[in-house]
Amino acid sequence: MASHIVGYPRMGPKRELKFALESFWDGKSSAEDLEKVAADLRASIWKQMSEAGIKYIPSNTFSYYDQVLDTTAMLGAVPDRYSWTGGEIGHSTYFSIARGNATVPAMEMTKWFDTNYHFIVPELSPATKFSYASHKAVSEYKEAKALGVDTVPVLVGPVSYLLLSKAAKGVEKSFSLLSLLDSILPIYKEVVTELKAAGASWIQFDEPTLVKDLAAHELAAFSSAYAALESALSGLNVLIETYFADVPAESYKTLTSLSGVTAYGFDLVRGTKTLELIKSAGIPSGKYLFAGVVDGRNIWADDLAASLSTLQSLEAVVGKDKLVVSTSCSLMHTAVDLVNETKLDSEIKSWLAFAAQKVVEVNALGKALAGLKDEAYFAANAAAQASRRSSPRVNNEEVQKAAAALKGSDHRRATPVSARLDAQQKKLNLPILPTTTIGSFPQTMDLRRVRREYKAKKISEEEYVSAIKEEISKVVKIQEELDIDVLVHGEPERNDMVEYFGEQLSGFAFTANGWVQSYGSRCVKPPIIYGDVSRPNPMTVFWSKMAQDMTPRPMKGMLTGPVTILNWSFVRNDQPRFETCYQIALAIKKEVEDLEAGGIQVIQIDEAALREGLPLRKSEHAFYLDWAVHSFRITNCGVQDTTQIHTHMCYSNFNDIIHSIINMDADVITIENSRSDEKLLSVFREGVTYGAGIGPGVYDIHSPRIPSTEEIADRVNKMLAVLDTNILWVNPDCGLKTRKYTEVKPALTNMVAAAKLIRTQLAAVL
């Protein structure tokens, strides 16, 4: 029985690619050095899968930034502002698109479906000129073949590419992105022709937009695209891969009717309804079913007995020789290798499987279907499953009762937001257009060393506290010198906004090397929520009070919200996600109340990932938004009217959930805006009334580019055209931890100058 992996993590078990990219960006290493690290990682990945017995091994899933940007490069779809003159796209153009440069901003970045991975959004227009400008897919296939590994080249499908794109600025609203289909298909044909000539026998097109709610004309585009590609694809086996959700019935019908397609890949972990659809509607005769039964988005060991049962039921539908065992999606959304976790609790470790272990699980299931079941391996897996179900570490009756008691109340603050803002202003006495930042300040090498040495017990707690206090003092002084109105302590004690809280909450476990790529070189190490969640002790009060004592200006207490902690963790799969979220909300509520009691007047509860968790199907939106927004309100429902509650959101499309954002009932929301071409402001132009404080980001912190005072002032003036002066805040898009002080100081200087300039202009008018 054959086996298949949709995709694999790129960063390497020790984040080798991250460090190679950052060294290259800093000018400390050459392009050749970067390419050597990348080639070694690719070779290791292909070898690992080959030795594990995987038949269908992917290539062209390795990327220096993301697979959509790679496709933009392949198609030569480079906006004019990057001054690309044609030919093969090199590192300079590629990374300028992704990160911006000294003179040109980066393209928009947004979340990849409902994951914490990001992609660079293509900007297209009727004038976009396409050309075959990156031969990466073919060169990587040849590279693997030279190593003795025959791979399945993976391309982002042409229709999904267009549906994930956006119209360039200034393009008529009537413009349809799908109208460009005939313009990009010739390049896809060139790529396919070269792959065939290189010896490829299979090709995988990722068309994940098929799981979304698509209109009839969008579904028709899939039929048109693959009919047009059919002659070029002749002689190749063609797999169309979907993931992250159920495929709707109409989309399933379209998919299984596509011309020239040999195989269909489905996520059967998050797509349980698709499983029933396969059984009821069937698969066209002679076609392959790539059954994604091993979860590519979580770290729990597969229940092999349950997956084997599912696969056996599918054999009756497609036949033994046409069934391929697969992962539910790319394994890039999980950690790399459990072998590297030498300090993880042994019982919890027995419940887990990272990417390397999932490859083994896929192959074991394939062998079991072929009658070569490894009884010892299956028995060990069954024992681990039973251990997890019965472990007393998982369940806490007191926590479960407290969460159950939440039913029956909406946990909304009693006083309307307008009255609360008045009470807060009397206490805080802020100017119009108050300035602030989102929370974190640059994480220097020295700061990282201090945290690392403290964790390794190389320095004492007293030395650690002294070093962090010194860093907080530096950050406070910088903000006071810049004349920022509401300060932050810079979060020097935190490596990660979720990991920091998870380390202090019960029910969480942590890895040493469980890194997952978020975008570019940015990696996160998600906590593992294995049991019921509670807060044994205060988590941030000590540092927040210390920082507030250093300044007469308001100091924000900085917390991560329950929905973001949930969505940025590997979450237990033995109870509904909303139950876990309510438990986290109760833990954060205790922290909020302790901060208030400690004299903190402004408390920010970040919900950066609330939009990210929105289900891909509209029919599921209302239920998710109800419990997600409710969870946020639980955290702060008990504070006084004079305590100002902030929240922050970033790098998603918020326009379609603006009413739920209003329903969160925060006093102030800071929200990403600048990198997405101020798309957020359109909802206010279209008549949405927002009465709470709001700070749409005035500059993009994911680019090293420093915006001018005039540029920021222009952005603020655009905001004032649709928002009242007395509710508008001025702030960056997101936290500053990934930037350098040489970038942060001038950018914030210009931001404050812009706010003061407009205050002066407004005062002159009055």
- Catalytic residue ranges: 702
Residues 6+ positions from 12 with CB-CB distance below 8 Å = 18, 41, 44, 336
Distances from the Cα of 473 to the Cα of 273, 450, 480, 558, angstroms: 55, 16, 11, 16
Task: Give the separation between CA 420 and CA 644, rounded to whole angstroms.
Answer: 8
Task: Give the separation between CA 657 and CA 138, rounded to whole angstroms.
Answer: 41
Query: Does the annotation list 581 as a binding residue?
Result: no
Tokens of 117: 């991975």
The C-alpha torsion from 44 through 45 and 47 to 52, rounded to 10°, is 140
> What are the helix and strand counts (H, E) for the chain?
27, 22
Residue 35: CB atoms within 10 Å = 14
- Pairing mode, strands 528-534 and 506-509: antiparallel
Alpha-carbon Rg for the chain, nearest whole angstrom, is: 26
3-state secondary structure of 283: coil
Query: Does the annotation list 35 as a binding residue?
Result: no
- Which strand ranges, in their side-by-side order, compose the sheet holding 556-560? 556-560, 602-606, 644-649, 668-671, 693-696
Distances from the Cα of 320 to the Cα of 98, 205, 228, 290, 324, angstroms: 44, 24, 31, 12, 9
Measuring CA to CA, which residue among 707, 715, 714 is closest to residue 749? 707
Task: Give the separation between CA 602 and CA 667, rounded to whole angstroms.
Answer: 10
**Residue found under tokens 């139950």:** 579
Query: Does the annotation list 241 as a binding residue?
Result: no
3-state secondary structure of 675: coil
Query: Does the annotation list 84 as a binding residue?
Result: no
Query: Does the annotation list 438 as a binding residue?
Result: yes
Tokens of 465: 């506290």
Query: Does the annotation list 18 as a binding residue?
Result: yes
Residue 579: CB atoms within 10 Å = 15
φ and ψ of 61, to 5 deg: -100, -5
Query: Does the annotation list 217 as a binding residue?
Result: no
**Residue found under tokens 């899939």:** 222
Asked whether the CA dihedral 612, 125, 242, 328 is positive or negative, the reply is negative
Residue 257: CB atoms within 10 Å = 12
Residue 285: CB atoms within 10 Å = 8
Query: Does the annotation list 458 as a binding residue?
Result: no
Measuring CA to CA, which residue among 308, 322, 177, 170 is closest to residue 237? 322
3-state secondary structure 406-474: CCCCCCCCCCCHHHHHHHHHHHHCCCCCCEECCCECCCCHHHHHHHHHHHCCCCCHHHHHHHHHHHHHH
Angle at Cα 732 formed by Cα 631 and Cα 672, nearest 5°?
50
Query: Does the annotation list 637 as a binding residue?
Result: no
Binding residues for 5-methyltetrahydropteroyltri-L-glutamate: 18, 116, 522-523, 568
Binding residues for L-methionine: 438-440, 491, 606
Binding residues for L-homocysteine: 438-440, 606
Binding residues: 18, 116, 438-440, 491, 522-523, 568, 606, 648, 650, 659, 672, 734
Binding residues for Zn(2+): 648, 650, 659, 672, 734
